[in-house]
Structure 1
Amino acid sequence: MATNQEEVKLLGDVRSPFVLRVQIALDLKGIQYKFLEENLPNKSELLLRHNPVHKKVPVLVHNENPISESLVILEYIDDTWKQNPILPSHPYQRALARFWSKFIDDKIVPAAWKAVFAVDEKEREKNVEESYEVLQFLENELKNDKFFGGEDLGFVDIAAVFIAFWLPIFQEIGGFQLFTSEKFPKLYKWSQHFVNHPVVKQNLPSRDLLVAFYKSCYQIVFG
C-alpha cells in the first residue's frame, strides 16, 4: 500500500484506454491515488509541465516525479509496489509480455482506429483486414487459461483493455463485424472474463459516454 508519505496522482481522461490501464494497475496493487481529469483540447499547465514531450495522458505523478506513457507507467507501478505483481517473474515471460503489449499498441490500436476513421473506403477496408490479421496473432497466443498470464490478470491483459472494451464500440460505430465470438473464440471469451473482473469492472467508463463521444468524432470526420 502507498504510505502516508507517498503522494500518487494520475492525470487522465476517462475516455482513454491508456489511462484505464493505469487505473486498473493501481487498483490491483491497492494504491490510493488522486485522479485529475484533463480537458485535452485545453491542456492544463500541470500536464504541460509534467509531460512536455508528448503533452498527453496518462501521466503518473509519484512524490512529484512524473512518468509518462502507459506501458512505461505499468512497469514503474510493478517495480515500485511489489504486491500483486502484473509482470511475470521469469525473464523470458517478462520479455514476451512486453512484446505483446507493444504489439497491441503498434499494430492493433492503429489498424482499428483507421478501420473506423479512414476517409477513403479502400483504406478502411484495408485496415479492417489488417485488424483481422493482427488480432489472429493474439488469438493464437492466448492459451486455454482465463487470462494471458494464466488464472490472474497480468500485464498483457491490462494492455489489451482496448480490445475488450473499445474495439466493440469502434466496430459498432464503423458498421463492421470484426471482433466476434465466431471469428476469435478464445479472444472473445478472454474479453468477457476481463471486463467482468471486479477491478476492471469498477473502473470501466460509461459505455454510453464512449459511444456518444466516438459517434461525434465520426460525424466530424464524415459529416
Structure 2
Amino acid sequence: MGDEVKLYGVDGSPFVCRVKIALNLKQVKYDFYVEDLSNKSADLLKYNPAHKKIPVLVHNENPISESLVIVEYIDEAWKGVPILPHDAYEKAQVRFWAKFNEDKCIPALFKAIGSHGSEEAVAEAHEQLQFLENELNVKGGKFFGGDNVNLVDISASFIAFWLGAAEEALGIKVLAKDKFPKLTEWCGNYINCQPVKESLPAREILVAFFKKRFGGN
C-alpha cells in the first residue's frame, strides 16, 4: 500500500504554496482539500486543534502543521532532491534565513503593502530585502540553494510572486530592479522553475485579492 497524502489549504495562500512546491520537488502525489476559512471543516479542526489554521499536511493519517515545519518533514519523509543541506552548519544557516523571511522580511512587506507604499514602510522593507540581496551575492547561484531550490527559496515564495501581484494591484513599487538586481533575477528564476510554476495560483486572482483587501489606486 502506498502513502496517503492529503493537504488542507486554500489556493491563494503563499504558506500553502510552500507545501505544494516541496511536494512537487519530491514528486509526491497528494489530494488537495480546499478549506472555507469562514467555515472550517471538521477535518481541519481535528488535524490542527491548536491553531485551527492552514496548511495542514496529513501523511498516512499523521497531521503536520505550520508551513516550514511541513516542508522540513517532506524533505525527511521522501527521497529525491534535498530541500535542506546535510551539513549541520549549512542546515542551521538555511533555517536561519527561512526564519528571517518569516519573522522580519514578510511582515515588513505586508506593512509596505498595507500602507500603500508609504515612504517609512518601504524603507523598512528595503532594509530587510537588502539582507537577502547580500545573501544572493554571496551565494552566486540561481537560487538561495545555489543551483537547486532549498528551504530559503521556498520560504521567500511571497517575495517572488505575491509581492509583484500586490505592486500591480496597488500601483506601488517595493522591489525595484535597480536597487535589488540579484533579488529581481532570483524572482524570475524561481517562479519559472517547473515545480514552483506548477504550484503557483493564477496571478490575476492575487491581483484581484490585493485590490479588494487594500484598495487599488
Note whether the superposition's TM-score is higher than 0.5.
yes
Measured in 2, the distance between the counterparts of 1:178 and 1:116 equals 8
Measured in 2, the distance between the counterparts of 1:171 and 1:214 equals 9
Matched, 1:190 2:186: yes
Cα offset, 1:218, TM superposition: 1.4
What pairs with 1:69-148 in structure 2 (closer than 5 Å)?
A: 69-118=66-115, 124-142=118-136, 143-148=139-144
Is the contact made by 1:115 and 1:174 (CA closer than 8 Å) also made in structure 2?
no
1:40 alignment partner, SS class: coil
Is the contact made by 2:108 and 2:121 (CA closer than 8 Å) also made in structure 1?
yes
| Aligned residue identity for 2:50 | V
Query: Which range moved further: 46-55 or 98-107?
Result: 46-55
Name the residue aligned to 1:45: 42
Measured in 1, the distance between the counterparts of 2:43 and 2:163 equals 31
Is the contact made by 1:116 and 1:173 (CA closer than 8 Å) also made in structure 2?
no
Measured in 2, the distance between the counterparts of 1:45 and 1:118 equals 36
Measured in 2, the distance between the counterparts of 1:167 and 1:50 equals 30
Q: CA RMSD in A?
A: 1.7
Runs of 4+ in 1 over 6 A off after TM superposition: none
Cα offset, 1:127, TM superposition: 2.0
Cα offset, 1:97, TM superposition: 0.6
Cα offset, 1:85, TM superposition: 0.9
Instruction: Give per-residue Cα distances to partners, 1:92-132, cap 9 Å, x unaligned.
Output: 1110110100110111111111212249x9xx433211110
Cα offset, 1:89, TM superposition: 1.3
2:80 alignment partner, SS class: coil
Matched residues, number: 215
Matched, 1:170 2:182: no
1:217 alignment partner, SS class: helix
Gaps of 5+ in 2: none
Instruction: Give per-residue Cα distances to partners, 1:160-201, cap 9 Å, x unaligned.
Output: 111100111222233321112111000110110001111111
Instruction: Give per-residue Cα distances to partners, 1:114-157, cap 9 Å, x unaligned.
Output: 212249x9xx4332111100000010011321111111111111
Gaps of 5+ in 1: none
2:15 alignment partner, SS class: helix
